[in-house]
Amino acid sequence: MEEVELLLKEARRAMKRAVAPCSNFRVGVALLGRERVYTGCNVENPSLMLSECAERVAILKAVSEGEKQIRALMIVSSDNDYCYPCGSCRQLIFEFAPEADIYIASRRGIRKYTIKELLPFGFRREL
């Protein structure tokens, strides 16, 4: 449970760094790699097509720094309700964190999922 509390604290900290001038909807993510925590926040752009979700920011940061084992993710949002990953983020989790525990926090508590529950038929290219 200590890891979950740490991820919640770090996700809330990341949420405060969100850049959301259009929606004012802030999202923070903390993910647990093999030996460290990576964070991400949503970054909006007025064109919206250039905006990035917090989940993608955190995962791409971890992957770009050489992380190979994402064990858990925590997602929080500024409206204190459950904030589920969008389809693109679910696919990225499916690819880079297939075994990770996914925690989604709200003012009512924390829910735990696997990516198979959130994306039962994710795309996987067989090589």
Alpha-helical runs (H) found in the chain: 2-15, 54-64, 87-96, 115-118
How far apart are the C-alpha atoms of 74 and 102, rounded to whole Å?
6
75, 55 contact by CB (below 8 A): yes
Tokens 């259009």 locate to: 22
**Residues 50, 20: Cα–Cα separation, whole Å:** 12
Q: Provide the Cα torsion 95, 100, 101, 104; round to 10°.
A: -40
Establish whether 55 is a catalytic residue: yes
Q: Annotated catalytic residue: which of 52, 55, 65, 117?
A: 55
Kindly list the catalytic residues.
Answer: 55
